[in-house]
Every structure is written in structure tokens, then in C-alpha cells.
């Protein structure tokens, strides 16, 4: 049963109760007017129509539903700046997440993420509820592109589960079970960090839910925990090694870049990498060494870089 059907059933129950009360009053000789009978449940029906049905529409039709709470999202008149922050943050983060997921699969994330059609499924009262849905690009879709969109949706669907793995002082070990691929997990944790409210926009907590994995919430404290965890995301079982590859998509704000190696795409963390050095390396070969984690198939996926060396262009990537 959908959320909308559940709301309809509730309305039907109230209406049936009103009819029953009217018939019972008639049978027992109670002098009750239609208005008196309706008044008993009228407010409940209005509440369902004004609040439950709009929310049911969001829950039934969204990939992600956000629920913001704070002084900037009061039910009567929310701040425009709070609404703007929420909508712009959702769009930016979902596009960045989409691009990063695609890049880690070895495809052109920037190109496809720009084509993804983000839709607003609605806004509902109750502090502030906001629903969004990802539509695949309407044209020029290749079969492999369709599979990439499915991978994006899978990553989005797991965000509430990963958010529930944020503890009081650190990201819990369960995060590795939620997302076994350490590179994808690093991307998703950065997405959660970007969603975590700062409190400056009148939003204190941001609750969100996906279709298949329940609900989670992010607070200003979670933002502190995530920022600390992302400085050193590798586990105790990290290996040490060196890999050669082509430097790809770099996110200098997060001190991350991708290295395309013969084993696949390796997400690299380089806190000491200067922007000028990163720009000069893009599209060129580099040798990186440091501690790294693998996925369940044993492929290197996330490295804390200790040293970066340029590789002569004449040397081919084997």
C-alpha cells in the first residue's frame, strides 16, 4: 500500500464513522444535527488533506525526501534563505555525488551529471518537507549510461543507512558494511558532510529518507564528526603500495583526485597537494605511494598519498 492509499483509507474511515454516528443517532432518537456529527471528525479530515496527502505524495514519488527543522523553517512562513539553501544544496550535492560515482566507474562523470534531470516532487508543511527525484537524461542515452544512472540511484538510496553509522565521536565500523567500496564510501561521507546543517541558515537538523532504506538525520554535531573522520578515513587494515596512472578529476576543496590505473580508478587523498601542482598534473601520468584500502574484489580504491612523482610522458601505462 502506498502512503497516498493509506491516507485515503484514513479519510474513508472517518467518513464511514460519521455516517455510522448519524445512523446511530437516528436509531436511538438522539436529536443531532448534520453539523454536530461532522464537527466530530472534520478537523481530522482537514489535517489529512492539508498535511498528510502532500507528504504522502513526496514519500511515494521521491528518491530522497528531506525534512528540515529549525527557526528558519517554521510551518507558517519559512525563511526564503532557508528554502534556497535546501534546494541549492540538494541540487549541488546530488550532481557532485553523481559525477563522483561515475568517475569512480571510469566514465565521464562531469558530462553525464550535467545531463541528469533533477525534479522537485513537492514541498509539504510540517517544518519543511522537500522531495526530489532523479530522471535519466531525456536524450542521447547509451545503454551503459542507463546502468550508470542505476549505480547513482543505488548510492543515493544508501545515504540514510550510512548516516546512521555516524557515532557520537567517529564514523562507526558499520559504514564499511554499508558501503564496502572505500572510494564510494569516501564520496558518500563527503555528501553527508555537505548536507549537514551549519545552523547559519535557520536549519538545525536535516532529516532525510530514501525509498528502500528508511530515515536518518544530520545535525551540526554530525558535521564535526564527519569533518574529523574524513581527514583520515582509512581503516587499520590498510596496505602500503605504489601505483602509476593518469591523474583524473580533482576536487581541490576536498584534497582528492582520481588516478586511472591498470587496476581501475583509485581515489587519492593528498592533503599536501597544492592547487597549482594538481592543475599541472591533470591528464598526465603520476606515481603515487602510500597506504590504501581495497574493495571486496581486492582492487585498490582509496589511498592516503604519502608521495607523488611525475612520470615521463613517454612511459606507457601498462
Please tell me the least confidently modeled range out of 77-81, 207-211, 289-293, 296-300. Answer: 77-81
Per-residue pLDDT reduced to its tens digit, 136-147: 766 555 556 677
Please tell me the least confidently modeled range out of 71-80, 115-124, 187-196, 295-304. Answer: 71-80
pLDDT for position 205:
94
pLDDT for position 66:
94
pLDDT for position 315:
55
- The pTM assigned to this predicted structure is 0.82
Per-residue pLDDT reduced to its tens digit, 107-163: 888 888 888 889 999 888 778 888 999 877 665 555 566 778 888 999 999 999 999
Per-residue pLDDT reduced to its tens digit, 67-106: 999 989 876 778 889 989 999 999 999 999 999 999 998 8
Burial of 76 per CB tally in 10 Å (0-12, 13-18, 19+): exposed
Per-residue pLDDT reduced to its tens digit, 197-253: 988 889 999 999 998 788 999 999 999 999 999 998 898 889 999 999 999 877 766
Mean of pLDDT values over 27-52: 76
Contacts of residue 259, defined as CB under 8 A and 6 or more positions apart, other chains included, come to 243, 245, 246, 247, 248, 265, 266, 267, 268, 286, 288, 303
Distance, CA of 147 to CA of 150 (rounded, Å): 5
Burial of 133 per CB tally in 10 Å (0-12, 13-18, 19+): middle
Taking CA atoms, 16 is separated from 123, 146, 205, in Å, by 30, 47, 39
- Output 96-100 pairs: Cβ under 8 A, ≥24 positions apart: 96/191, 96/194, 97/152, 97/155, 97/156, 97/187, 97/188, 97/191, 98/134, 98/152, 99/249, 100/187, 100/249, 100/251
Amino acid at each position: 500500500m502506498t502512503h497516498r492509499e493509506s491516507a485515503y483509507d484514513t479519510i474513508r474511515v472517518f467518513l464511514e464513522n460519521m455516517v455510522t454516528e448519524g445512523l446511530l443517532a437516528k436509531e436511538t432518537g438522539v436529536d443531532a444535527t448534520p453539523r454536530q456529527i461532522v464537527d466530530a471528525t472534520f478537523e481530522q479530515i482537514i489535517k489529512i488533506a492539508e498535511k498528510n496527502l502532500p507528504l504522502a505524495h513526496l514519500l511515494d514519488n521521491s528518491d530522497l525526501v528531506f525534512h528540515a527543522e529549525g527557526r528558519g523553517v517554521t510551518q507558517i512562513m519559512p525563511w526564503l534563505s532557508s528554502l534556497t539553501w535546501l534546494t541549492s544544496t540538494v541540487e549541488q550535492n546530488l550532481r557532485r555525488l553523481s559525477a563522483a560515482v561515475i568517475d569512480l566507474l571510469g566514465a565521464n562523470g562531469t558530462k553525464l551529471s550535467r545531463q541528469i534531470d533533477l525534479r522537485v516532487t513537492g514541498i509539504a508543511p510540517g517544518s519543511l518537507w522537500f522531495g526530489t527525484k532523479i530522471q535519466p537524461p531525456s536524450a542521447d542515452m547509451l545503454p551503459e549510461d542507463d546502468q550508470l544512472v542505476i549505480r547513482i540511484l543505488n548510492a543515493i538510496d544508501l545515504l540514510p543507512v550510512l548516516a546512521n553509522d555516524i557515532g557520537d565521536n567517529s564514523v562507526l565500523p558499520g559504514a564499511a558494511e554499508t558501503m564496502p567500496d572505500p572510494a564510494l564510501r569516501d564520496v558518500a561521507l563527503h555528501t553527508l558532510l555537505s548536507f549537514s546543517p551549519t545552523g547559519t541558515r535557520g536549519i538545525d537538523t536535516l532529516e532525510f529518507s530514501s525509498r528502500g532504506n528508511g530515515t536518518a538525520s544530520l545535525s551540526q554535531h554530525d558535521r564535526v564528526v564527519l569533518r574529523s573522520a574524513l581527514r583520515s578515513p582509512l581503516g587499520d587494515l590498510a596496505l602500503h603500495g605504489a601505483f602509476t596512472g593518469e591523474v583524473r578529476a580533482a576536487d581541490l576543496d576536498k584534497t582528492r583526485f582520481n588516478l586511472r590505473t591498470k587496476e581501475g580508478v583509485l581515489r587519492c587523498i593528498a592533503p599536501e597537494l597544492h592547487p597549482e601542482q594538481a592543475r599541472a598534473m591533470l591528464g598526465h601520468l603520476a606515481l603515487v605511494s602510500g597506504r590504501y584500502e581495497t574493495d571486496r574484489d581486492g582492487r585498490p580504491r582509496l589511498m592516503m598519498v604519502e608521495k607523488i612523482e611525475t612520470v615521463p610522458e613517454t612511459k606507457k601505462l601498462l
